[in-house]
Amino acid sequence: MAELRAYADLGEAYRAAGRYRDAIAVYEQIWPRLVSLGRDDTITAVTWLNNWGIAAGQAGRPLEAGKLLRRSMEIHRADASDAAVSPMVMTNYAQQLYDLAQVEEARAYAETAYREALRAGDEIIVNQTLLRLARIYRAQHNYARATAVLDEVEPRLHRALPPSHYAFGSLALERALIAKEQGDTERAVAFINDGINLLNTSAKVGKAGGAKSAVAAQRSCITRACRRAVACRRARCERDRGAAGARGAARRFLELEWPRVPRARARSERRGKGSGGACGSARGLGAIAQGTRSTAPGYPCGGGAESIGR
């Protein structure tokens, strides 16, 4: 067992260093040996399955991770309920359910893990689960509750961790994503920049590589969303200015040229050319000046304004 425990420690070292495939390979090698010793229903098995499952999840294999964590919970469960299951395993399992888009089931496990960790006084699991719940509530579009959870966990993190810890970058990321999904791109960009700054500081004193990459990717996404929103606002302003300019030109025509129209119409009638063109054009500009497509009842040439108004 001493040799197996040494390998298990190596697997955890690989996982902590971000070498998830190497960590998984270690657990794949030592698990059959644990089973052959008849120790696959012990607390050691629960711990190894949990760590193996976390590594699989971090490697982007949530289906595999979910099976491993489920097996860990089944070993730990004393009866049909989840009363004896470690809140650490439950919160990790909730993360895999979230990654598989099983959000409601993830919420149920995370809330149970939070209550059990709070009852046991396990501050680390409480804080991790609160951050997880914020993501879950955001996915359910419950932004008020997600924000309330972040407001609850932030002072807890400040009491438990140094200011340079990368967890604060993850906190800023969550606030940025909530702001983005609420359409507040300016606040989202501000939060994501804070997260990047926090993670840059954290990288100088410890590990923050994975979190930094995640936040950087979200910053890129949010920045693009902000640029699109600004471009849309600019396009709307240009369109509004163009429409206002057209209406202004129409008003100027009506003020300066309209008095001449009756005389032009009379001349046209005397020449036998009809009266549709001048009247129709003036009425069309009148419709633009009012921002409508009115046919200006009372004039014999109703169709001209309608065609120009289009």
CB atoms under 10 Å from CB of 209, counted, come to: 13
Alpha helices in 100-142 (DSSP H): 103-120, 123-139
Write the CA distances from 1 to 4, 27, 71, integer angstroms: 5, 14, 21
Write the CA distances from 102 to 63, 90, 115, 254, integer angstroms: 12, 14, 20, 64
- pLDDT score at 308: 33
Handedness of CA 219, 60, 144, 164 (dihedral sign): negative
Which amino acid, 266? A
CB atoms under 10 Å from CB of 303, counted, come to: 11
Tell me the C-alpha distance between 59 and 35, whole Å: 24
Q: Which tokens sit at 142?
A: 């419950």
Residue 220 has pLDDT above 70, yes or no: no
Residue 147 has pLDDT above 90, yes or no: yes
Q: Which position has the token pair 């949990």?
A: 50
Q: Which position has the token pair 């438990």?
A: 160
| DSSP states of 26-62 | HHHHHHHHHHHTT-TTSHHHHHHHHHHHHHHHHTT-H
Tell me the C-alpha distance between 69 and 91, whole Å: 10
Q: How many CA atoms lie within 13 A of 230 on its CB side?
A: 9
* Higher pLDDT pick, 44 / 272: 44
- pLDDT score at 3: 86
Residue 163 has pLDDT above 70, yes or no: yes
Mean pLDDT of the chain: 76
**Global pTM exceeds 0.75:** no
Mean pLDDT of 59-81: 82
Q: Which tokens sit at 246?
A: 């057209």
Report whether 65 contacts 94 (CB < 8 A).
Answer: no
Which amino acid, 206? G
CA max distance for the chain: 115
Write the CA distances from 297 to 156, 188, 260, 279, integer angstroms: 72, 53, 20, 12
Mean pLDDT of 180-185: 89
Mean pLDDT of 216-234: 55
| pLDDT 10s digits, 80-96 | 455 567 899 999 999 99
On the 0-12 / 13-18 / 19+ scale of CB atoms within 10 A, 52 is buried
* Higher pLDDT pick, 86 / 306: 86
**Phi and psi of 272, rounded to 5°?**
75, 25
Domains and CATH numbers, the chain: 161-244 (1.20.58), 257-309 (no CATH)
Q: What DSSP element (H or E) covers 200?
A: helix 185-205
- pLDDT score at 95: 93
* Higher pLDDT pick, 238 / 15: 15
- pLDDT score at 2: 85
Mean pLDDT of 103-120: 94
Tell me the C-alpha distance between 136 and 95, whole Å: 9
- pLDDT score at 41: 84
Q: What DSSP element (H or E) covers 276?
A: helix 276-290
Q: Which position has the token pair 């109703």?
A: 302
Handedness of CA 19, 174, 89, 124 (dihedral sign): positive
Least confident piece of the model among 5-19, 31-45, 167-181, 199-213 = 199-213
Coil, strand or helix at 274: coil
- pLDDT score at 274: 46
- pLDDT score at 142: 96
